Amino acid sequence: MSLKRIVIICTLSSFLAGCAGLYGSQPPAPVYGGQSKSQKPPVSVPKKPTVHKPVVKTQPLKDFSLIKPEPLSSSDPVTLEDMESSAPPPPSPSELTPFYPIEATVRLSPVVSALVSAANQNTHAGDLDSAATSIERAIRIEPRNATLFYKLALLRLKQSKPRLAEDLAKKSASLTATDNTLKKHCWLLIAHAREIQQDFSGARAARAKANSF
- Per-residue three-class SS string for 57-88: CCCCCCCHHHCCCCCCCCCCCCCHHHHHHHCC
Q: Which of 132, 130, 202, 144 is nearest to 172 (CA)?
A: 144
Range of the domain at 200: 107-211
pLDDT tens digits along 181-213? 999 999 999 999 999 999 999 999 999 999 998
User: Residue 112 domain-assigned?
Assistant: yes
19 neighbors 11 (Cβ within 8 angstroms): no
pLDDT at 73 over 60: no
User: Residue 25 domain-assigned?
Assistant: no
Angle at 129 between CA 124 and CA 135, to 5 degrees: 80
User: Residue 102 domain-assigned?
Assistant: no
User: Residue 197 domain-assigned?
Assistant: yes
Q: Which of 116, 200, 201 is nearest to 154 (CA)?
A: 116
pLDDT tens digits along 10-51? 676 666 665 555 555 555 555 555 454 455 555 566 666 665
Angstrom distance (rounded) from CA 130 to CA 180: 30
Mean pLDDT computed over every residue of the chain = 77
Check the CA dihedral 128-131-135-137 and report its sign.
positive
> What pLDDT sits at residue 102?
78
CATH code of the domain covering residue 200: 1.25.40.10
> What pLDDT sits at residue 9?
73
Q: What's the gap between Cα 54 and its chain centre?
A: 42
Q: Which of 201, 197, 196, 193 is nearest to 173 (CA)?
A: 193
pLDDT at 94 over 90: no
User: Residue 39 domain-assigned?
Assistant: no
User: Residue 172 domain-assigned?
Assistant: yes
User: Residue 80 domain-assigned?
Assistant: no
Higher pLDDT, 8 or 30: 8
User: Residue 136 domain-assigned?
Assistant: yes
Tally the domains of the chain. 1
